[in-house]
Amino acid sequence: MLPTVRLRAAALGSLASLALAAGLLSAPSTAAGTPADASADASVPSIFSPQVVTVDTPTRADRARLQRLGLDLTEHGGHDYVEVILHSRLERDRLRRAGFRYDVRIPDLLQRSARNNARNIVFAAENPRTALPSGRNSYRTLRDYEADLKALAKQRPRLVRHFTLKRPTLDGNRLHAVEIGQGVKQPPRGKPTFVILGLHHAREWPSGELTMEFATDLVKSYGKDPRITRLLRRARVVAVPVVNPDGFDLSRTDGGLLDLQALNPIDPLGGSLAVLATPGQAYKRKNCRLVDGVDQPDGTCRLSLASPGGNGLGVDLNRNYGGFWGGPGAAGDLGAVNPDSPLDVLGPLSATYRGAAPFSEPETQNVRDLIASRQTTMMISNHTFSNLILRPNGVNPKTLYRGKPMGNARDEAALKALGARMAATNGYTNQHGWELYDTTGTTEDWSYNATGGFGYTFEIGAEEFHPPFEKVVEEYVGAGKHAGKGNREAFLIALEHAADTRHHGVLKGTAPRGTVLRLTKKFRTPTWTSSIPDAVSSTLRVGPKGTFRWVVNPSTRPIAEGPERYTLTCSRGGKVLAAGKVRIERGQVKTLPLRGCR
| CA–CA gap between residue 200 and residue 194 (Å, rounded) | 17
Those residues with Cβ within 8 angstroms of residue 400's Cβ, 6 or more apart along the chain or in another chain: 406
> Which of 9, 504, 68, 30 has its CA nearest to residue 273?
9
Alpha-carbon dihedral angle through residues 7, 11, 17, 18, given to the nearest 10 degrees = -120
Q: Is 83 a catalytic residue?
A: no
Angle at 162 between CA 156 and CA 168, to 5 degrees: 165
| CA–CA gap between residue 53 and residue 236 (Å, rounded) | 42
Catalytic residue among 213, 459, 464, 489, which?
Answer: 459
| CA–CA gap between residue 518 and residue 215 (Å, rounded) | 28
Q: Please, are residues 508 and 549 in contact by the beta-carbon 8 Å criterion?
A: yes
- Strands 376-383 and 193-197 come out as parallel
Strands (E), 219-313: 236-240
- Strands 388-391 and 454-459 come out as antiparallel
- Reduced to 3 states, what is the DSSP secondary structure of residue 571? strand
CB atoms within 10 A of CB 209: 29
Q: How many CA atoms lie within 13 A of 312 on its CB side?
A: 20
CB atoms within 10 A of CB 1: 7
| CA–CA gap between residue 594 and residue 255 (Å, rounded) | 57
Those residues with Cβ within 8 angstroms of residue 137's Cβ, 6 or more apart along the chain or in another chain: 123, 124, 127, 128, 129, 130, 469
Q: Which residues are catalytic?
A: 459
